[in-house]
Amino acid sequence: MNTYHLTKVTKNYPLLLALFPLLLAFASQPAFAHSGATGSSRTSNVTLNNGSWRNILSIPVLLSNHTHYCTVVGSADARHVSGNTGNHQYTFGLSLDGAVPAAGVTRTVELNNNPGVDDPNVIEIGSTAFFTVPAGVHTFRWRARRSNGNGSAVVDDASMTINCFKKRLGFIILPPIPVPPVIENPAQ
């Protein structure tokens, strides 16, 4: 989050003072004229206790002039809530502009509390997605929900990064890598 401090305003700066709210509004969102990157993280918890999608992180971006090609990476820790018994599944995914995450970019984890077994209490989750995004203001979201069972999980230490580019790469053709010749052992 950007923080702006205006230390001293005198009567010599009326135009700056009048334009300050407008400048602050534009500066608060990343603007990608051609290529750019942004990201965010949080340490406050998000509880997953039902089947509704919950936002873990949201990042608004202003993409100007033309279509951009964006890669988004989300990561978080899923922590089993103390006292949960049985198997519980949770789904995580990346989305654009409030859509439900597509199946190809969702990840499902299962947190168990089996009697007599030291099951893991924390699992790291990660996903990557590619979006073709038209010019305008858009919001990328790292989301999660409970998908099976009736327990709860806590999501903490989450991060999301976004990289947007003006041009999309075509197929990358790499030259063949030469394989070294096989040398037979004459002693055999």
The SS3 call for residue 156 is: strand
Highest mean pLDDT among 2-6, 29-33, 155-159: 155-159
| Residue 141 pLDDT exceeds 80 | yes
Q: Is 155 helix (H, G, I), strand (E, B) or coil?
A: strand
Rounded-to-integer distance, Cα 11 and Cα 13, Å: 5
Rounded to the nearest 5 percent, the helix, strand and coil shares of the chain are 10, 50, 40
- Say what percent of the chain tops pLDDT 70: 73
Beta bridge partners of 53: none
Confidence of residue 170 (pLDDT cuts 50, 70, 90): low
pLDDT digits (tens, 9 = 90+) for 77-117: 998 876 666 678 899 999 999 889 998 899 999 887 777 77
Domains of the chain with bracketed CATH:
37-165 (2.60.120.760)
pLDDT band at 173, cuts 50/70/90?
A: low
Phi/psi of residue 136, each to 5°?
A: 135, -175
